[in-house]
Amino acid sequence: MLRTLVKTESLAVQNQVFDVRYFEVRTLRGLKRYSAEILLGADDRIILDDDSVGNLEARVARLVPATLASRRLAKTTAA
């Protein structure tokens, strides 16, 4: 399936800035689906999908800070 870039933005979380790219894709049934790719590092991404860009923006705003906090916690308990 071919993804079309529909929007880009930057998300600031605790003095760090992450690039977010939003894509649109058509399903086999002809419906639109959207995905967000959050670039945490060169080889580190979070990919989310939903039925609308608005829902994705809300999910990105909640999940990126939670993911980063979870990773920090995992580092401190592993060390």
CATH number at residue 65: 3.10.450
* 14 neighbors 68 (Cβ within 8 angstroms): yes
**How would residue 1 be classed by pLDDT, with cut points 50, 70 and 90?**
low
Number of domains in the chain: 1
Q: How far apart are CA 38 and CA 45, in angstroms?
A: 6
What pLDDT score does 37 carry? 96
Burial (0-12, 13-18, 19+ Cβ within 10 Å), 44: exposed
Per residue in 10-56, pLDDT tens? 999 989 999 999 999 998 898 999 999 999 988 999 999 999 999 99
> What confidence score (pLDDT) does residue 2 get?
84
In this model, does residue 59 exceed pLDDT 90? yes
* pLDDT higher than 80, residue 79: no
Domain around 73: 4-78
